[in-house]
Amino acid sequence: MEQKRISELSEIARNVRIGIIDAVHSASSGHPGGSLSSADILTYLYFEELNIDPKNPADPLRDRFVLSKGHISPGLYSVLAHRGYFPVEHLKTFRKSDSNLQGHPDTKKVPGVDMSTGSLGQGVSVACGMALAAKIDGASRRVYALMGDGEAEEGQVWESAMFAAHYKLDNLCYILDWNGLQIDGAIDDVIGPAPFDTKFAAFGWNVITADAHDFESLESAFKAAKECKGKPSVIIAKSIKGKGVSFMENQASWHGAAPNDEQYAVAMQDLKA
């Protein structure tokens, strides 16, 4: 990837992060930690990887993206806004009673949201169905699902993993945001869902590892996923929860809490520096 493109994507990701903090601060609630850890992944997907058109969000030929970890809606909304699906200013209506930007994404309310999610473990199964439909149609469209590391504790994730491998859904790619933290603390302390690589490999998946905050690493990961035939791919992306906001980084407590005005100012300073 050219240095110029890396700089452009970094700038977009910085704005996506600002949008996340704006949304969560305006709502006085929401999930900034995981939104920030996924911000570069979402930026790469929406500005490099996905075959989509914001002017035609229902195009049947488009690639699909399912945010299986639906609670990081601020991340999805921010990237959609910056990609041109709706005005960036609209992010400040997040979680308000007259807004279409629900706490968890609603496919019927927001253009560009391919599936309503929020209950963990369910989005990945829907992505499997979308990938299967593309196979039935003989279509080239691809399907991506972003899941959390804590989400891997849901049994349904492994049901879906079994299904996707059995039906050789090589047009399907999960991205597992491995930030190592969930609401109750470190994932290893809560219940220990890791290791993810050997688990997915045992289920018959093509396993790729990446740095969730390095666009070149993400580029080669998504390229490897696309090139793999005969089985689904998972990109295990090591990330930093709260990435980009000094006081949120690696803090489980920022999983689902909003910054107050003072903290907001510090966050903006961090992101605009």
Partner 1 sequence: MADKIATREAYGKALVEFGAQYDNLVVLDADLAAATKTGMFKKAYPDRFFDCGIAENNMIGVAVGLALSGKIPFASSFAMFAAGRSFEQVRNSIGYPHANVKIGATHGGITVGEDGATHQCLEDFALMRTVPGMTVICPADAAEARLAVKAAIDNDGPMYLRFGRMAVPTLFGADYDFKIGRGVKLIDGTDVSVIANGVEVEQAILAAEALKAEGISASVINMATIKPIDRELVIEEAKRCGCIVTCEEHSVIGGLGSAVCDVVCESLPVPVVKVGTNDCFGRSGPAKELLSLFGLDAAAIAEKARIAVGLKKQ
Which residues are near partner 1 by CB under 8 A?
A: 60, 64, 106-108, 114-116, 118-119, 121-134, 136-137, 143, 155-156, 159-160, 162-163, 166-167
- Distances in Å between the Cα of 220 and the Cα atoms of 135, 171, 212, 215, 269 are 24, 17, 12, 9, 32
Least distance (Å) between residue 128 CB and partner 1 = 5
Is the CB of 49 or the CB of 63 nearer to partner 1?
A: 63
Is the CB of 102 or the CB of 179 nearer to partner 1?
A: 102
Least distance (Å) between residue 170 CB and partner 1 = 16
Least distance (Å) between residue 253 CB and partner 1 = 27
Dihedral angle sign, alpha carbons of residues 43, 71, 231, 50:
negative
Is the CB of 123 or the CB of 242 nearer to partner 1?
A: 123
Least distance (Å) between residue 34 CB and partner 1 = 19
Least distance (Å) between residue 160 CB and partner 1 = 5
* Angle ∠(196,180,261) on CA atoms, nearest 5: 150
By the 8 A CB rule, do 212 and 239 touch?
Answer: yes
- Distances in Å between the Cα of 73 and the Cα atoms of 228, 246, 260 are 29, 21, 19
Is the CB of 12 or the CB of 145 nearer to partner 1?
A: 145
- Based on the number of CB atoms within 10 Å of its own CB, is 17 exposed (0-12), middle (13-18) or buried (19 or more)? buried
Is the CB of 87 or the CB of 138 nearer to partner 1?
A: 138
